[in-house]
Amino acid sequence: MEPIRKDEFDSQACGSLTPKTKPCPRPKPGEAAGGCSFDGAQITLLPIMDAAHLVHGPIACAGNSWESRGTLTSGPSLSQYGFATDLNNTDIIFGGEKKLKESIDYIAGRFAPPAIFVYATCVTALIGEDMDAVCKEASGRLGLPVIPVNAPGFVGSKNLGNRLAGDALLQYVIGTGEPEKEVPLGVNLIGEYNIAGEMWDIEKLMNSAGITLMSRITGDARYKEITWAHRAKVNMVVCSRALLGLAKEMEKRYHIPFFEGSFYGAKETTYSLRQMAFLMNDREMERRVDRLTEREEARLIQDLRPYRKLLKGKKAVLYTGGVKSWSIISALKELGVQVVGVGTNKSTDDDVRRIADRVGDDTEYIPEGGASRIIKTVRDRKADIMIAGGRNMYVAMKEQIPFIDINQERHKAYAGYEGLLRLAKELTYSLTNPIWRLASSPAPWDKEEPPYDR
């Protein structure tokens, strides 16, 4: 690949597609940091379930990462295979291009995928492998899209990786295919990865309103459907800004209007569905969506009643990536849970603005990572529960803080109306589990009173 030039990155401010935002915050040396750009790019593309994903690099990047994401598939599972060139010492010295070519050939021959994504890693970028050329040559020879993803870890954060993956889709995938029949009212979902099957809930909702899901970018996607994403009438960017650039560029190139929305919480869900109908500019559709959302919201209010009683007035500290930083706040508010602390380390300025719109003035912003920093907020603000990802989960357990996992390892889908119910249920369960009483009360022999009559 082209060597990465520093000035290019600075001037383009973190991803070539979103020139107006401030650069993704750089991690500070000496802290417990989040994922790298390679990781981010993989997260974005791995949910294309029928494609092969080949990691070009030493075993670190692949060996530590394969099979570990909770993005579900409704069919093909090739994407879950860990393919790697596993470069060794000699390859580093003499180059790994031959190995890469052979690996691509092997995958094409043995697994016959509709496309192969090839990921650069720190090492292959540093030793100057010409991945683009190898991919291009293989594409031509095999008659199969072989797509280079140039997001080696060291170029920056996970967020930047998301964006670079979006670049790859724009450059190599979107616009290269046509659907069999024309879909008059199709919507693309961008930035929804089908964690725990969330996308399926959303799809069900859209279908009941008569909206066709054109391309999933990329939760439970098939390669082919992304090739015709340019035929959609509306793009919805689900949460966060990771793939906003993709939507902007599609608006420019294909005149597809886009909006940013979320499916966490009833209000956001209703808003998102309405917005789709509105942008499609179809009166009948708008009416259908209105009927659906009214019905669902009314039912939800009924169903939530017992949970709201318990959750009202509870305080939560939320620490998650950009994807859910602000949207979960709305969902929690609807359940009566107050967010007293919120992580902003992976959020952009816009995210922070959205967070500010949704929380009260005395909510604490947690700009930097580190378990102790989060715990401190929980303690200072007397929060009842912590909502965060897997790496912080076990710290919460040590501190005996009720916890729910909101990131990619979880097995609970929280999107849509039904998702909000599930969230309510999980929160309640976590808060009321008898183990917390047991954990926080001293052992009988530490109590002043004798535990039983002698």
Partner 1 sequence: MKDHLNIPDHNKLFQTEPYVKQREGKKAFEAPCSEQETAEALAYSKTSEYKDKNFARKSLVVNPHKACQPLGALMASLGFEKTLPFIHGSQGCTAYFRSHLSRHFKEPAPAVSSSMTEDGAVFGGMSNLIDGLENSVALYKPEMVAVSTTCMAEVIGDDLQAFISNARQKGAITEELPVPYANTPSFAGSHITGYDSMLKSIISTLYKRSGIEATPGSGEGTGEKLNVILGFEPYTGNFAEMRKILAAFDTKYTFLGDHSGNFDSPATGEYSYYYGGTKLEDVPKAANALGTLSLQKYSVKKTLEYIEGTWKQQTVSMSAPIGITATDRLVDAISELTGLPIPAELIDERGRVVDALTDSHPYLHGKRTALVGDPDLLIGLIQFCLETGMEPVHIVCSNGDNGFKGEAEALLAASPYGAEATVHIGNDLWHMRSLLIDNPVDLSFGSSHLKYAAKDAGVPLIRVGFPVFDRHHLHRYPVIGYQGTLNLLTTVVNTILQNLDDDSSGFNHDLVR
Which residues ranging from 106 to 135 are in contact with ligand SF4 (CB under 6 A)? 121-122
61 binds ligand SF4 (CB under 6 A): yes
Q: Which stretch binds partner 1 (CB under 8 A): 12-20, 99-107, 137-145, 323-331?
A: 99-107
170-199: contacts with partner 1 (CB under 8 A): 179-180, 196-197
Q: Does 147 contact ligand SF4 by CB under 6 A?
A: no
Query: Contact region for ligand SF4 (CB under 6 A) — 32-40, 299-307, 390-398, 424-432?
Result: 32-40
Residue 204: CB atoms within 10 A of its CB come to 11
Q: Which two tokens stand for residue 112?
A: 């016959």
Distance (Å, whole) CA 383 – CA 22: 32
The amino acid occupying position 245 is: G
Buried b (16+ CB within 10 A) or exposed e, 90-103: ebeeebbbebbbeb
Q: How far is the CB of 99 from partner 1 (least distance, A)?
A: 4
207 phi/psi in degrees, rounded to 5: -60, -40
Which residue lies nearer to partner 1 by CB, 298 or 397? 397
- Give min distance, CB of 110 to partner 1, in A: 7
Pairwise CA distance, residues 239 & 260, whole Å: 7
Query: In this chain, which of 15, 113, 153, 419 binds ligand SF4, going by CB under 6 A?
Result: 153
Please give the residues from 15 up to 34 whose contact with partner 1 meets the rule CB under 8 A.
Answer: 26-34
Query: Is 155 one of the binding residues for ligand SF4 (CB under 6 A)?
Result: no
Contacting partner 1 (CB under 8 A), which of 131, 421, 427, 430?
A: 421
Q: How far is the CB of 148 from ligand SF4 (least distance, A)?
A: 14
Residue 40 found at the interface with ligand SF4 (CB under 6 A): no
Q: Which residue is closest to ligand SF4 by CB?
A: 153
Residues 308-367 that bind partner 1 (CB under 8 A): none
Judged by CB under 6 A, the residue of 15, 96, 148, 152 near ligand SF4 is 152
Q: Which stretch binds partner 1 (CB under 8 A): 168-176, 183-191, 311-319, 413-421?
A: 413-421
**Residue 166: which of 124, 238, 217 has the closest Cα?**
217
Quick check: 4 binds partner 1 (CB under 8 A)? yes
Closer CB to partner 1, 139 or 260, in the complex: 139
Find the shortest distance in angstroms from Cβ 237 to partner 1.
Answer: 22
- Could you tell me the strand order of the sheet in which 186-192 lies? 212-218, 186-192, 234-238, 258-261
182, 191, 231, 233, 234 from 215: Cα distances, Å: 13, 11, 9, 11, 11
Nearer to partner 1, 61 or 359 (CB): 61
* Residue choice 1, 13, 92, 142 for contact with partner 1 (CB under 8 A): 92
Site for partner 1 in 50-89 (CB under 8 A): 50, 54, 57-68, 72, 74-76, 80-89
**Smallest gap from residue 5 Cβ to partner 1 (A):** 8
Reference 430, options 391, 395, 382, 397; nearest CA is 397
> CA 186, CA 229: separation in Å to the nearest integer?
9
Q: Does 60 bind ligand SF4 (CB under 6 A)?
A: yes
SS3 55: strand
CA 246 to chain centre: 15
Q: How far apart, in whole angstroms, are the C-alpha atoms of residue 174 and residue 314?
A: 45
Which residues lie closer than 8 Å to 64 by C-beta, 6 or more apart?
none
| Strand (E) or helix (H) holding 385 | strand 385-388
DSSP assignment letter at 406? -
Total binding residues toward ligand SF4, as defined by CB under 6 A: 10
> By the criterion CB under 6 A, which residues form the site for ligand SF4?
36, 38-39, 57, 60-61, 121-122, 152-153
